[in-house]
Structure 1
Amino acid sequence: MNIGIKRLFEDLRGTRVIVIHPEGAECSVLVNQLKRFGCRVSTVWPCPPEPPRDSEVIFVLIPAEAGTTHFWSVVDCDAVIVALVEYENPTILKGIIDINAQAVINKPFRPTGILSTLILARANKGYQDRLLVKIKKLEENLRSRREIERAVKILAERHGLTDIQAYEQIRRQATHKRISISELCAVINSASSVLDGLWPIDS
């Protein structure tokens, strides 16, 4: 076994896996193969109302007759999800999308292909998580920029400064107070909103 393949198996060893599928010969094929990889596997059926919290990977059967009403929303689950399907129809395809499955395994299960599917699913999940982190940072940066632009405008208008001068004043104050520029700008904006709300006062 070369180093790359060995590393893949080592990464899987001890992974907590839950298989949501009726017990039987087909389920055993999947469970036994996962155990061969060193995963810690448990089975559940019927599908629980919430994703199991103690799992890293969830293999879940999407039965066509049940629709998708019993499945969880994407935000409910942090685990890698692999959908198990008997065939393809609009209901099952919608279920795959609704649970944000990172991979799909078609029935009947065979030992071959389970490893590659599991590795692909984990890689896809990791990529999605990294994208979400980047998106969150971009949103935070955008909010900070808007706070700064608004605070600079407020300071410039009230003190007759240019935008550059106003920003420099904010930067110096933030350094002096040992807080971030965006934090100080949020305070300035909040104070301005309060002051704006005081006038005019009806007599």
Structure 2
Amino acid sequence: MKRGVRIVDLGGAHAIILHRPHPVVAALSRQLLAVGLRVTTSWPTLEAEALAADFVFFDADMGFDDQFPWQAGQAPMPLIALIGSEAPGRIEWALATGATAQILKPVGDSGVYSALLIARNAFEARRTLSAEVSDLRQKIGERQTVVRAVVMLIEQTGSEAAAYSALRSQAMDARISLEEAAARVLERAALPRDRRPQGGSS
């Protein structure tokens, strides 16, 4: 087993099947109940309470964007596509919804448990990656704020070293981070001169 992949007990989890009345729903429900999941069905749309579900299975053949109470690719839980038609447009749409696993129709007597595990692990990996990207963007933004503040302070201090020193002093005096101090420098500079705090550095 690869490191980082967790096999978890799915008993008690809630799965919603978003599919028109069809034998597929009955076959899928049997497997989900056997695994220990609680199952509800819905068609043609999901209600707001679906936001609390643990998994959503959806019909990729007749699905459409307005079925979901969230934007495409922003599902708060793993999505599993039920695919009968392999038409490129349908596959592309299923991927755009954010599906992290699939089950081919007709649904037989196996395959659901592995789809659940794959969907959950892929969903968690995607969420972790998204958080890391968001954190990197924030750090890049903070660094750009520091650079902009230093450039502004160079005009007053005459050198890059003196500007960094002035910024560090402001951060230490206010007991805040360098990034916060830089943001304050830029905020003060954006104010009209008669509204800038006394003793401001810009």
Report the TM-score when normalising by structure 2.
0.83
- Match for 2:180: what amino acid? E
Change (3 A) 1:9 1:123: closer
Q: What is the aligned partner in structure 2 of residue 201 from structure 1?
A: none
Secondary structure at the counterpart of residue 80 of structure 2: strand
Q: What is the aligned partner in structure 2 of residue 175 from structure 1?
A: 172
Secondary structure at the counterpart of residue 53 of structure 2: coil
- Match for 1:107: what amino acid? K
Change (3 A) 1:17 1:91: same
Change (3 A) 1:126 1:59: same
- Match for 2:161: what amino acid? I
The alignment status of 1:8 with 2:38, answered yes or no, reads: no
Report the TM-score when normalising by structure 1.
0.82
Secondary structure at the counterpart of residue 52 of structure 1: helix
Q: What is the aligned partner in structure 1 of residue 115 from structure 2?
A: 117
User: Structure 2: where are the runs of 5+ without partners?
Assistant: 1-5, 196-202
| Count of residues in correspondence between the two structures | 188
The alignment status of 1:70 with 2:69, answered yes or no, reads: no
Note if contact 2:73-2:97 (Cα within 8 Å) is conserved in structure 1: no
Structure 1 residue 187: Cα displacement: 1.3
Q: What is the aligned partner in structure 2 of residue 17 from structure 1?
A: 15
Which whole-Å CA distance do the structure 2 matches of 1:177 and 1:63 have between them?
59
User: Structure 1: where are the runs of 5+ without partners?
Assistant: 1-6, 199-203
- Match for 2:175: what amino acid? R
Structure 1 residue 114: Cα displacement: 1.3
Note if contact 1:71-1:99 (Cα within 8 Å) is conserved in structure 2: no
Which whole-Å CA distance do the structure 1 matches of 2:55 and 2:172 have between them?
46
Which whole-Å CA distance do the structure 1 matches of 2:8 and 2:167 have between them?
54
Structure 1 residue 115: Cα displacement: 1.1
The alignment status of 1:153 with 2:140, answered yes or no, reads: no
Q: How does 1:59-98 map to 2 (within 5 A)?
A: 59-64=57-62, 68-72=64-68, 73-98=71-96
Note if contact 1:74-1:99 (Cα within 8 Å) is conserved in structure 2: yes
Which whole-Å CA distance do the structure 1 matches of 2:22 and 2:121 have between them?
29
State the identity %.
26
- Match for 2:11: what amino acid? R
- Match for 1:25: what amino acid? P
2:105 to 94, 104, 107: 107
Structure 1 residue 71: Cα displacement: 4.3
- Match for 1:173: what amino acid? Q
Q: What is the aligned partner in structure 2 of residue 4 from structure 1?
A: none
